[in-house]
Amino acid sequence: MGRIRQIVAMGGGGFSMEPDNPLLDDYLLGLSEKARPRVCFLPTASGDDPTYIVNFYAAFAGRADASHLPLFVRRGEDVGAFLLGQDVIYVGGGNTENMLAIWRTQGVDRALRAAWESGVVLAGLSAGSLCWFESGTTDSFGTALERLSGGLGFLPGSHCPHYDGDATRRTAYHQHVADGLPGGYAADDSAALHFVGTELREVVSSRSGAYAYRVELVDGAVVETRLPTRYLGASADPSARD
């Protein structure tokens, strides 16, 4: 695999939210350009939830060399070398703030940057989507959507996953941007933002009607722009966009 830096930020979807719809996960595997890629799951945001880990292996073990990196009970591996040896790193959902704190304590943040710069595809949903940006909206502190204190910053600006997940997401993100949160990208459940370097390459979805959006402050007003989205299940024209 080349040294192209790639991140796929999914608002929601994948094996944990759409177990019978593999379109987004297939898209991730395809970016590796390997017949049987090495895929590592980081379940930190869920507290290394055992069921989540089992479901990951059930989804990927038959078509990838699947592994996971536990951080609550360490196995003693060299985190940097382990992550550099992957083709895809898949970050699960859960509590974003707790995940980032643990990563920084364990040096995973530095290892992820090194992996990204070496060409390993970084991906994830929910917390695993939000973490790559400078900031965004999070429910890490309770039910209200608060401002994320500080993401990894691999991607500039802010992010709001699960944009169509409940009625409060759009309103809260717009309010935070109006109050000074850097503009950025929102993604519905089943929609994913594919970045090459720090530039958005395309938006894809596993469900017709799922989209991503650019949200920014323009002349004092919050402006939301729906982005062209390629539905991965389209059969007639795979390049068709909504």
Q: Which of 46, 135, 140, 162 is catalytic?
A: 162
Q: Which of 32, 126, 129, 190 is catalytic?
A: 126
Token code pair at residue 109 = 């943040």
Token code pair at residue 148 = 């994320």
- Cα–Cα distance list, 156 to 44, 75, 111, 233 (Å): 23, 33, 19, 30
Token code pair at residue 89 = 């790193």
Whether 158 and 181 have beta carbons less than 8 Å apart is answered as: yes
Whether 151 and 109 have beta carbons less than 8 Å apart is answered as: no
φ, ψ at 205 (rounded to 5°)? -145, 155
Active site residue 174: no
- Kindly calculate the radius of gyration of the chain based on its CA atoms and give it in whole angstroms: 17
Active site residue 126: yes
Active site residues: 126, 162
